[in-house]
Amino acid sequence: MKKNNPLFYIKTIHTLIWIFFNLVLFYLCYAVISNKIDKWVWLGILLILLEGIVLLIFKKHCPLTVLARKYSDSSKDNFDIFLPNWLARYNKLIYTSFFVVILLILLYRLISNK
């Protein structure tokens, strides 16, 4: 893929956003496991929920995926992001499950700290 191709830039931006949300999720995981519930936890949850709303608005697709579709007719799950195909395929399932576990641990921490 040539660097002057719009799809290259979309994939790069999409991958950087994916990395950002991974950092948010892993911070949330660290915070709830170590019981360090602070304003950053609530901000992280808000960001993840906003991402979920955007995905719902775009019928379970990232807006960048919709944009990338203009530049590719590939049927691969990773046509729009620099991830292995298997991870791109199961990305939403993996990270939604991870987020639910984080929320359950958070709920446990909030209940047990009273």
Domain with 25, as residue range(s), is 6-112
Let me know if residue 97 belongs to a domain.
Answer: yes
In terms of pTM, does the model score above 0.85?
yes
Note the Cα 70 to chain centre separation in Å.
Answer: 22
* Residues in Cβ contact with 45 at an 8 Å cutoff, skipping those fewer than 6 apart: 28, 103, 106
Separation between Cα atoms, residue 85 and residue 106, nearest integer Å:
31
DSSP category for residue 12: H
Let me know if residue 19 belongs to a domain.
Answer: yes
Spans of the chain, pLDDT less than 70: 1-2, 114
What was the pLDDT predicted at 56? 95
What was the pLDDT predicted at 113? 78
Let me know if residue 47 belongs to a domain.
Answer: yes
Separation between Cα atoms, residue 36 and residue 105, nearest integer Å:
12
Let me know if residue 78 belongs to a domain.
Answer: yes
Let me know if residue 105 belongs to a domain.
Answer: yes
Total domains, the chain: 1
Q: Are 80 and 10 in contact (CB under 8 A)?
A: yes
What was the pLDDT predicted at 87? 97
Let me know if residue 1 belongs to a domain.
Answer: no
* Cα–Cα separations (whole angstroms), residue 1 to 10, 11, 49, 52: 12, 11, 33, 30
What was the pLDDT predicted at 2? 67
